Structure 1
Amino acid sequence: MAAVRPWNAFTAAEAEVRSMVADARWQTLPEPDRAHAIAARTLVTRDGDRWVFGAHARWHLHDPADGRWHLAPPPRRLRARQVGHHATALPSGVVPSGPDFIAEPGSTQAFVGPDVPVKLCEQIRELLRANCRKSELDYPLTAFGEIFARDVPSTVAAVWGTIMWCAYAPAFDGNERLLTIFGEFLRRPLPGDEWVRWLPAPPLIDLVTLVAERRRAGHPRTALRLAALIGDTAHILLSDIRFRPRALALLTMVEPVLKRPGLDDEAALRDDHALRQAWLRRCPQRLARAVLVETDPGAHLSHTVYDLVEALAFAPDPPRAAAVYLADLSDSRGMLPARLDHRLRHAYDELRRAGLTSTSASERTEPDGFAVMTPDVRPGARTGPRPMPRDSRTGSGAGAGDRGERAAGGRHETGAGVRVETGVGVRVMPPDRAGAAAVLGAAYAVGLAWSRVSGARVPERGFAGSVPLVHRLIHERDDSPI
């Protein structure tokens, strides 16, 4: 007889709300009625915290200090009971609209294990090969000039920009084929260390500029070709869940103009920002979360913090574990705590009082670079360096082994993973490779989102918290050796 999973109040409440919102009648209900239905399913845990499963198919936690509701994964190990809540005290932003429950959540994994699939990389290679020899006079590089050499046509930048914009967290490892494809076009080695390329996430305006400038210059067919190239690249990226949500959103923005050339002429002739707004207006509500990075950077930050806490669900205390990664962020103006729920805020404040926050204010997190070989933390794991191809343009695999080994800190096994003692605190490492990649991706996404909100610089060698995660990952290949 199959084992029966124990009843869980959070799981049950979530199932009820999903069933209600999936009903076609949900969107026809007046907002007060929808708010009442959600508020009636409020849960409370023994510590007094109140939770509702609401907008964006995510949990929201009530802050007793100021009455706000924060996005926050629930403590599913704790018992909870249904108590209800005053519907009038529930903000409209917490109540599901309906389409927001349809969106595919995607994946928080960065590209540091596993690699992007070979088939996807080959499709991108073929697309790039077919378009990279265009004249730079016909396709001038009006964006991404800090990445590519001056004589590179904007067709190359359109493919690159689409990949980076669609990526959940654009951190790539030394075996990454997808980056090697662009090696001959780069202006300088990509930012990062000897193993990971910590790449910036471009804003949508950069992609828009490539198209809009050509239309204003009187070359509508060239502008249309660039829009088609962005669409073709996004279509290829749909096959990888780490790209899919934003790739789908980008397709909904550019495909209409491919069917109706001239649709965006008025906006493009006005300026880049007008065209950007035209694109964003075409993104349907069901994909709204995928473009929050453009439309509401503050809400996007909240979602990435949610992702980070979820990725740390294996830890005994996920909020406390997440606070250690949040401590990496530069926050000279003290803006971050007010954006956190009270559990995260208390854990973060403990680190702040100990002087262990804003650790990324210093540009270099490991002065001698990441080690290629470090003592492994898992019984029976293979030892030895992880082979990496050398590429002078991408900067991958540049002989870090010659610099000697650096320990990531004291380590010991726990039931929930590996505890790593660092200068910031105790980081509980994921018990497996997939978990480590998910935490690394989520933590980097938080850093990029915080940069959008605060203007804080993103360290070129990654955040301090990435060091033990990278050491945890580099011992196993994630590509296919020849």
Structure 2
Amino acid sequence: MHWDGFTAIERDVRAMVADPRWAALPVPARAQAMARRALMTPDGACWLFGAHARWYRLDRVDGRWHLSAPPGSPVVRSAARPPHTAMGIPHLLIPAGPDFAVERGSTQAFVGPDVPEGVTERIRALVVAHRRRHRDDFPLPESCFRDVFAADVPGTVAAVWGTIMWCAYAPAFDGNEVLLSLFGEFLARPLPGDDWVRWLPPVPLDALVTLYTERMLARPGEAGARLAGRMAGLVTETATALRADPRFRPRADALLAMAGPAAARPWLDEPAARAGAVRQAWLARCPPHLVMATLAETSPGEHFRHTLYDLVEALGHVAATGADPRAVAASLLAADVAVVSPGVVAALYPWLDDEMRRSLYVALTDPAHPLRGCWPASGELPAALLPSGRDEAAALLGAAYATGLAWCRLTGTAPPPRGFPVSSAVVACLMHQRDDAVPELSVTDEFDDQSSSGWLFHR
């Protein structure tokens, strides 16, 4: 067995931070302990396993530590050694303790592996129970939901849908996904996507908060608090049902921590509602070990870094062929940016370390560079990048789609309604491995005149 410096250091740091004495150490002492566990690879790059239980790389250009997935090459990993001189460790990179307890869940999209039947049935029960709520009590507010639902759909249905989309790591759903069929009769127009996949945009936290806050402000006193409490309760019931699927769990747990107190004590956020600060109040209730789930809301740049890290990890299988997962991830990022919005690349460079930045640049600007060979061709991934199985392909699809949504959010770019080139190419790896079935459809009389949900399903 070969020495793997990255595995050894990660194991050592995890044990050190898990020690109850760690939290009591003064910050300088913790920084010194972390500095002794830095690594240097043969190319001179310095690495640190730090905050949020992830690796960071020291940028030799700007002198800053960047969140960066470690190298995948066994040769590079086995040659890593502690640096000859001690390095200063920024306090933000020093593990506090709770951040190491984070559960990252699964990066899989909802193509290939279905949403478990138990989850779907619990969501179905919520939709059935709340679909006929009086629309005077629960109107559909002016928000992103107006782009999805017919005007006479109650806000309770939007609350269930919005919670699903907020909790999903990567809301790319199989066109035959039973969970989506529950909402077909309420939709104002077809969901964005193609014959196989619904490429859905994430729902921002603001939209969920509005469903709750608007009810509190619409009616004075106890009546408004009662309606707001019901809306917060529906959000928490939906999040509780979603927890059974690891693709939802981390964000569902964060949402439960934020909305749960409002459901139990509907008047809790009334002062914040009148000050227009309910979103801040919810985010403040998120505990330290769950804050990673809210990064898209609080720091789009850091969220982009973490999703790109996930993409590198999802490409770990290419290391067996001698390819560098980090360089491949940068190339696939370039493939999406080049097609969707090449002008935004300058806004992405500051969030990458010097090596990833260089890989992204050459992949975009040099058609003859070998990294161009990673780009999809004729809608398919190169053979060398193909995942070995369904679960690996679903993880790559989810990480690629999440990364696309993240850089779009960071740069203010509208996500493409028919998917990003890389995500779409990964779908081709899953088409023959899907195990779903077209569900039986039923449309109630109340919404029968709006639209049929049959267009959701394709074979």
TM-score, length-normalised on structure 1?
Answer: 0.83
Secondary structure in structure 2 of the residue aligned to 1:197: strand
Shift of 1:468: 2.1
Is contact 1:238-1:247 (8 Å) kept?
yes
| Higher RCO (C-alpha under 8 Å, 6+ residues apart) | 2
Pick aligned residue for 2:255 from 240, 250, 263: 250
Work out the number of aligned pairs and report it.
416
Write out per-residue CA displacement over residues 167-208 of structure 1, whole angstroms, 9 at most, x where no aligned residue.
000000122011011000001000111111000001100000
Shift of 1:251: 0.3
Write out per-residue CA displacement over residues 349-382 of structure 1, whole angstroms, 9 at most, x where no aligned residue.
112222699xxxxxxx99xxxxxxxxxxxxxxxx
Compute the RMSD of aligned alpha carbons.
2.1
Distance 1:128 1:276 in 2: 25
Answer with 236-245 or 446-455: which moved more.
446-455
Pick aligned residue for 2:401 from 444, 447, 450: 444
Is contact 2:107-2:398 (8 Å) kept?
yes
Shift of 1:480: 5.6
1:320 paired with 2:330, answer no
Is contact 2:46-2:83 (8 Å) kept?
no
The 5 Å alignment of 1:30-41 reads: 30-41=26-37
Distance 1:213 1:228 in 2: 15
The 5 Å alignment of 1:77-476 reads: 77=74, 78=76, 79-84=78-83, 89-142=88-141, 143=143, 144-218=145-219, 219-271=224-276, 274-315=277-318, 316-327=323-334, 328-329=336-337, 330-333=341-344, 334-354=346-366, 407-408=378-379, 418-419=383-384, 428-476=385-433
Is contact 2:111-2:434 (8 Å) kept?
no
Match of 1:48 in 2: 44
Q: Give, as a single letter, the amino acid of the residue that structure 2 aligns with 1:30.
A: P
Write out per-residue CA displacement over residues 5-35 of structure 1, whole angstroms, 9 at most, x where no aligned residue.
5431111111110011001111111111111
Distance 2:147 2:380 in 1: 35
Answer with 316-325 or 108-117: which moved more.
316-325
Q: Which has the higher helix share?
A: 2
Secondary structure in structure 2 of the residue aligned to 1:332: helix
Secondary structure in structure 1 of the residue aligned to 2:429: helix
Answer with 63-72 or 151-160: which moved more.
63-72
Change (3 A) 1:231 1:56: same
Is contact 2:176-2:437 (8 Å) kept?
no
Secondary structure in structure 1 of the residue aligned to 2:286: coil
Is contact 1:331-1:456 (8 Å) kept?
no
Distance 2:233 2:208 in 1: 12
Is contact 1:39-1:84 (8 Å) kept?
no
Shift of 1:407: 4.7
Answer with 295-304 or 6-15: which moved more.
6-15
Q: Give, as a single letter, the amino acid of the residue that structure 2 aligns with 1:323.
A: A
Using the aligned pairs only, state the percent identity: 53
Is contact 1:147-1:186 (8 Å) kept?
yes
Unaligned segments of structure 1, at least 5 residues: 358-364, 367-405, 412-417, 420-427
Secondary structure in structure 2 of the residue aligned to 1:459: coil
Write out per-residue CA displacement over residues 398-438 of structure 1, whole angstroms, 9 at most, x where no aligned residue.
xxxxxxxx953585xxxxxx23xxxxxxxx22122211111
Distance 2:350 2:261 in 1: 40
Distance 2:367 2:188 in 1: 39
Distance 1:306 1:465 in 2: 16
